[in-house]
A and B are shown apart, each in its own frame.
Chain A
């Protein structure tokens, strides 16, 4: 399954709900597959996409929060799975694009290429719903289920790597302000109208 193609499927499954993308290729593909205000692109903080998603899911139980992580990124912050398991944020869906390599940095292999099983880790650390999927049809079905069935979900999607051709907006504050307005939590500072 191709990551860009799977990202398009995820956008369709997410409806209007927010998507938080890990830096590098997951964020680039999210932009290419369909830029929308409710996309939060990270430009740094490798490993923290699932943590950002968890905080957002805690603050906004009315939303389904989707996270596009990478295998290398999640391996950098595995403790996040334990916190997600503990907090049991039912509205959080973490998708791990697992290509077995650090593709953004030149294709060095990750531990999943040696057999490390991130779905098993997520289950062991308390995720309510987990899956490993290998083709587009399977992925579409599980993504749709993840929008309807209480999580937290961790979906490991085995994907092939293809170099992205476009980058998301470079302005971090723009990304944040657009995102917060899209999910109905605009920053007062952006809107104006605070007490003079």
Chain B
């Protein structure tokens, strides 16, 4: 099974940003990224968390120990992460590169994904987490690298929002 171009871009981008730890809660499109990391990036350690808030907590500990952590989650999990972001990462200025697989945007079929999907960018703006959205699969590597570079450089969490039109292109 070949790796989709956008997923290869996520791997290349986070690696170029200096991240060697990915803490994640699984998501269907992100399984491509996890597979590519395991095959092509032996120096990147992946750790499964039971919940997104926990993933950000583990990532905070990794940063305290000198690592540059990435957290991968589905957009629905941003809701589960808010207390970790607002009462740990932001006040302590602990940076994390967040890779968010979007649900509820163009191409969605599941009603239950829509309200949070619509709220992701406004929530990031409201709490002060910078975010960027790649325009195409080809742009993913550079956007992920740039978001990571800014996050670790300014010591703030930063999010790359991966739209569904890139991760699950309609047939």
B90 and chain A: residue at smallest CB distance: A172
Q: Please tell me if the beta carbons of B64 and A52 are within 8 angstroms of each other in the complex.
A: yes
A150 within 8 A of B: no
Compute how far the CA of A53 lies from the CA of B60 in the bound complex, rounded to whole angstroms. 9
Q: Please tell me if the beta carbons of B61 and A52 are within 8 angstroms of each other in the complex.
A: yes
Q: How many residues in B have their beta carbons less than 8 Å from beta carbons of A? A: 33
Q: How many residues in A have their beta carbons less than 8 Å from beta carbons of B? A: 37
10 pairs of residues in contact across A and B, judged by CB atoms under 8 Å: A42-B88, A44-B88, A47-B53, A55-B67, A56-B64, A58-B67, A59-B65, A63-B65, A83-B49, A83-B58
* List of B residues within 8 angstroms of A87 by Cβ: 47
Q: Please tell me if the beta carbons of B92 and A176 are within 8 angstroms of each other in the complex.
A: yes
Given contacts A58-B21, A77-B53, A79-B49, contact A175 B62 (CB under 8 A): no
- List 11 other contacts, CB 8 Å, given A47-B53, A48-B54: A47-B57, A51-B60, A52-B58, A52-B88, A53-B61, A54-B58, A56-B64, A58-B61, A80-B57, A176-B94, A180-B66
CB distance from A19 to the nearest CB of B (A): 12
Stretch at the interface among A93-101, A153-161, A182-190: A182-190
Q: Please tell me if the beta carbons of A48 and B88 are within 8 angstroms of each other in the complex.
A: yes
CB distance from B62 to the nearest CB of A (A): 4
Q: Please tell me if the beta carbons of B83 and A185 are within 8 angstroms of each other in the complex.
A: no
Given contacts A83-B47, A176-B94, contact A45 B61 (CB under 8 A): no
A60 and chain B: residue at smallest CB distance: B65
**A interface list, Cβ under 8 A from B:** 20, 40, 42-48, 51-60, 63, 77, 79-80, 82-83, 86-87, 172-173, 175-176, 179-180, 183, 185, 187, 189
Classify the interface of chain A: helix, strand, loop or mixed. helix
* List of A residues within 8 angstroms of B21 by Cβ: 58-59
* List of B residues within 8 angstroms of A175 by Cβ: 92
Compute how far the CA of A80 lies from the CA of B55 in the bound complex, rounded to whole angstroms. 9
Q: Please tell me if the beta carbons of B65 and A183 are within 8 angstroms of each other in the complex.
A: yes
* List of B residues within 8 angstroms of A48 by Cβ: 53-54, 56-57, 60, 84, 88
Of B56, B91, B155, the residue contacting A187 (CB under 8 A) is: B155
Question: Nearest 5 CB-CB pairs, A to B?
Answer: A55-B61, A44-B87, A59-B65, A79-B50, A51-B57
* List of B residues within 8 angstroms of A82 by Cβ: 50
Of A42, A63, A77, the residue contacting B54 (CB under 8 A) is: A77
Compute how far the CA of A82 lies from the CA of B47 in the bound complex, rounded to whole angstroms. 12
* List of B residues within 8 angstroms of A180 by Cβ: 64, 66
CB distance from B144 to the nearest CB of A (A): 21
Compute how far the CA of A60 lies from the CA of B65 in the bound complex, rounded to whole angstroms. 6
Compute how far the CA of A175 lies from the CA of B92 in the bound complex, rounded to whole angstroms. 8
B60 and chain A: residue at smallest CB distance: A52
CB distance from B96 to the nearest CB of A (A): 10
Given contacts A79-B50, A187-B155, contact A56 B83 (CB under 8 A): no
Q: Please tell me if the beta carbons of B64 and A45 are within 8 angstroms of each other in the complex.
A: no
* List of B residues within 8 angstroms of A80 by Cβ: 50, 54, 57
* List of B residues within 8 angstroms of A173 by Cβ: 91-93
Q: Please tell me if the beta carbons of B66 and A60 are within 8 angstroms of each other in the complex.
A: yes
* List of A residues within 8 angstroms of B83 by Cβ: 44-46
Compute how far the CA of A15 lies from the CA of B96 in the bound complex, rounded to whole angstroms. 30
